[in-house]
Structure 1
Amino acid sequence: MPKKKKITPNPSGSQLHAQRISELMLEKKALDIKIIDVRNITTLTDFFVICTSESEPQSRAITDHVNLTMKTEGHASWHTEGYQYLDWVLVDFVNIVVHIFSKTAREYYEFERLWADGTITEVQDEV
């Protein structure tokens, strides 16, 4: 009888890209970064990556850094919304949707509560 191989979970491409986006957010000092896996509860997207920004210039820097780096790495975003206001910026990569909130908007919309049925992973800076 052949031995059974132990199968270890292999992260999907979307999951790896969500992790990469969270790293890019950390590089621009974003706060309270979370990855929400919503694959089992919606067909809209696979993951949300959310963070809080302390200022409009920081929101712009995070958005630009994520967009430019992901595009350079071969994963251009499909659409960006809210860039002109910078209170809540949404960057749509289709399988991943990025949300960059001001502190006020993050508290007001309670985004994690809306998607609480998803699997929420807090991203920590390893420094």
Structure 2
Amino acid sequence: MADLLQLVYKALDDKHAEDIVVLNMQNISLLADYFIICHGNSDRQIQAIAREVKEKAEENGFTVKRMEGYDAARWVLIDLEDVVVHIFNKDERQFYNLERLWGDAPQIEVEVASE
């Protein structure tokens, strides 16, 4: 699990995703063990972030169950089974405010080795 979290976090960071938050959902939701939430500053950047996550996950043998919202690029959801990635447009992120909705989920830090 740590490998997938690190892989996704690095992919997000490589494409300059903003304000990356990782929520530990293990005792809170049956949907996934972790939610990763971030935002991009344009439709093109949001799509580039989503593509990077999908490609890096697949290259490393992880299953992408589904990706939704890619074309609209307002809220892209990538389901990696135990990890669900939410890539928002900044305004959508503020509107849905998943960090507050899942406020009882502890935020965790992800360490990514520098290359």
TM score, norm. by length of structure 2: 0.91
Q: Does 2:8 align with 1:21?
A: yes
Instruction: State how far apart, in whole Å, the 2-side matches of 1:17 and 1:124 are.
Output: 12
Contact 2:9–2:112 under 8 Å retained in 1: no
Q: Which amino acid aligns with 1:81?
A: E
Q: Which amino acid aligns with 2:96?
A: Y
The 1:122–1:111 alpha-carbon spacing in structure 2 relative to 1, beyond 3 Å, is farther
Q: Does 2:25 align with 1:42?
A: no
Q: Which runs of 5+ in 1 are unaligned?
A: 1-12
Q: Which runs of 5+ in 2 are unaligned?
A: none
Superposed counterparts of 1:19-98, under 5 Å: 19-98=6-85
Following TM superposition, by how much is the alpha carbon of 1:76 offset from its aligned partner in structure 2, in angstroms?
A: 2.6
Larger radius of gyration: 1
Q: Which amino acid aligns with 1:16?
A: D
Runs of 4+ in 1 over 4 A off after TM superposition: 122-127
Count of aligned residue pairs for this structure pair: 114
The 1:123–1:104 alpha-carbon spacing in structure 2 relative to 1, beyond 3 Å, is farther
The sequence identity of aligned pairs, in percent, is 35
Following TM superposition, by how much is the alpha carbon of 1:17 offset from its aligned partner in structure 2, in angstroms?
A: 1.0
